[in-house]
Amino acid sequence: AARRTRPPPVLERISSSAMELLASLRAKASAGYAGATGHLKEHIAGAKLAVSKLAERITTRIAGAFEAAQSAKQAALEYAAATHLLALKLKTDVQSKGVKVCAQDLSVFALQFARETVASTKLQAGETIEAARAKALANIELTRQRAGEAKERSVGKAKQLYTSTGELVSQKSFQ
């Protein structure tokens, strides 16, 4: 029978200290892992929130672009339908009235449109000229006011200079 001997007390203390150190390291590693996991979860939650906000903005922009495209499509369809109806009406008019009468009607319409365009342009030009005239008059008045103020300052400075010169002459303090 083999007899078991106890290790020396120094080895027992070293072994005990090593076991305590190992247990301490395991506890610290476990706590570090838990802390890192919690920190990582916070970053993941923040990233998910940022992605969610970005996705919402992108979705909103896409929806806006889609609505604009739908609106443009609708306007184009309405314009095409109106053009089609106009072409059908013109075709019917040509068939019923003849080309000569339709051409005369079209020339009357074109002349009326040209007159209205000229009148509108004259009105806009008149308004533009009137606005420019009013602005010029306002600038002239402002310039007059500033010139008057400058004149008043100059007269005041001249009077001060005249008074100062008179005092110097009376005191005979110049040579």
The residues, any chain, with a CB within 8 Å of residue 90's CB and separated by 6 or more, are 102
Task: For residue 141, give the nearest of 131, 133, 130 by alpha carbon.
Answer: 133
Confidence label for 161 from pLDDT (cuts 50, 70 and 90): confident
Q: What is the CB neighbour count within 10 angstroms for residue 3?
A: 4
Three-class SS of 109-122: HHHHHHHHHHHHHH
Q: What is the pTM of this model?
A: 0.36
- 129-157: pLDDT as tens digits: 999 999 999 999 999 999 999 999 999 88
H helical segments located in the chain: 9-97, 99-171
Tell me how far apart the alpha carbons of residues 103 and 109 are, in angstroms, rounded to a whole number: 10
Spatial distance between the Cα atoms of 139 and 172, rounded to a whole number of angstroms: 48
Q: How far apart are CA 157 and CA 160, in angstroms?
A: 5
115-122 own/partner pairs: CB under 8 Å, 24+ apart: none
Residue 85 to residues 36, 81, 88, 94, Cα–Cα distance (Å): 72, 6, 5, 14
pLDDT digits (tens, 9 = 90+) for 45-61: 888 888 888 888 888 88
pLDDT tens for 80-107 read: 999 899 888 888 888 888 888 878 888 8
Residues with Cβ within 8 Å of 15's Cβ and at least 6 positions away in sequence, in order, are 7
